[in-house]
Amino acid sequence: MHGLGNDFVILDARSHALALTPARRRTIADRCLGVGCDQLIVLEQPTERDADVFMRIYNPDGSEAGACGNATRCVASLVMDERKADRVTVQTIAGLLESQKMGTGTNGLPVISVDMGPARLDWREIPVREACDTNHMPVGLGPLQDPVGTNMGNPHATFFVEDLAAIPLEELGPKLEHDPFFPERANIGVAQRVGEARLRLRVWERGAGVTLACGSGACAAVVAASRRGLVDRKAEIILEHGSLTIEWLRDNHVLMTGGISVAFKGELDRSLLS
């Protein structure tokens, strides 16, 4: 499945546990040696009573992440179909995410909303090397300076620029992702205000590289832009294959709404799992 081109291999391990080593995760996510995806998602039985499914998130480098907004919409839609329900709760290692079907998109597939939980703005949540004002973090490179730090269950540093097309994100992204300022690395978002409530966004994802869309990055970008007075609390994030609507609610939760797509269903060869 994919959310605006941010693509996932979603394995269903609810009836039998899968112990995937980091090397196995990397192979499955490899676009030549395996299936290929931006993130590998493994569905497990939930451990919280109120949750319908547990969603594990692995980056192509094998690392585990605490949030993946686009995959959460995909998994929520998949479980809604199974349950013939319009609301489900997805459990992740970062918390419980409530999701709701909002209608049907132009591709005939569901439009899904997810409450991505609270935006964590404290430096201890990002986490960073020293105490700092997360609205002005002391890290930058070339045209990318003075980012805003937001944690949506995963760490984001969002930079604002006048001309997004002029930013060589493929070159600057990995250097910033691995900057010693971020002991757990960070997702690097670069946003340009293109209207009253519209931001264009590109993200160098931690453990993945540049993706076509990043749901948690979109949430972080709207919270960051609102803190900088660039937008109010609700904005459209313009991506290459569509847009996400993000609202930073008064209770500090962040609501993300957008489409999903199913590419294919199949079975992995056992050689990829053992």
Ligand X SMILES: N[C@H](CCC[C@H](N)C(=O)O)C(=O)O
Pairing type for strands 110-118 and 187-195 reads: unpaired
32 catalytic? Reply is no
151, 187, 245, 261: which one binds ligand X (CB under 6 A) = 187
Q: Which residues, at least 6 apart from 267, have a Cβ–Cβ distance to it below 8 Å?
A: none
- Closest CB 139 distance from ligand X, rounded Å: 17
Q: How far is the CB of 126 from ligand X (least distance, A)?
A: 12
Could you tell me which of 179, 156, 159 has the C-alpha nearest to residue 169? 159
Q: At what angle do helices 69-83 and 215-227 cross, to 10 degrees?
A: 120
Stretch that binds ligand X, among 62-70, 90-98, 161-169, 259-267 (CB under 6 A): 62-70
Nearest to ligand X of 235, 270 (CB atom): 235
Closer residue to ligand X (CB): 160 or 204: 204
Residue 68 is a binding residue for ligand X (CB under 6 A) = yes
SS3 105: coil
Establish if 39 lies at the interface with ligand X (CB under 6 A). yes
- Which residue's CB is nearer to ligand X, number 241 or number 269? 241
Told to check if 89 binds ligand X by CB under 6 A, we report no
Tell which residue, 145, 160, 138, has the closest CA to residue 225. 160
DSSP 4: T
CB 5 within 8 A of CB 71: no
Shortest Å distance, C-beta 208 to ligand X: 5
Q: What is the DSSP secondary structure assignment for residue 62, as one 8-state letter?
A: S
The interface with ligand X within residues 194-213 (CB under 6 A) comprises 205-208, 211
Annotated binding site for substrate: 6, 39, 59, 69-70, 154, 187, 205-206, 215-216
Distance in angstroms (rounded) separating the CA atoms of residues 203 and 170: 10
Q: Which residues pair with 236 in a beta bridge?
A: 198, 245
Residues annotated as catalytic (active site), given as ranges: 68, 214
Interface residues with ligand X (CB under 6 A) are 6, 38-39, 57, 59, 65, 67-70, 154, 187, 205-208, 211, 214-217
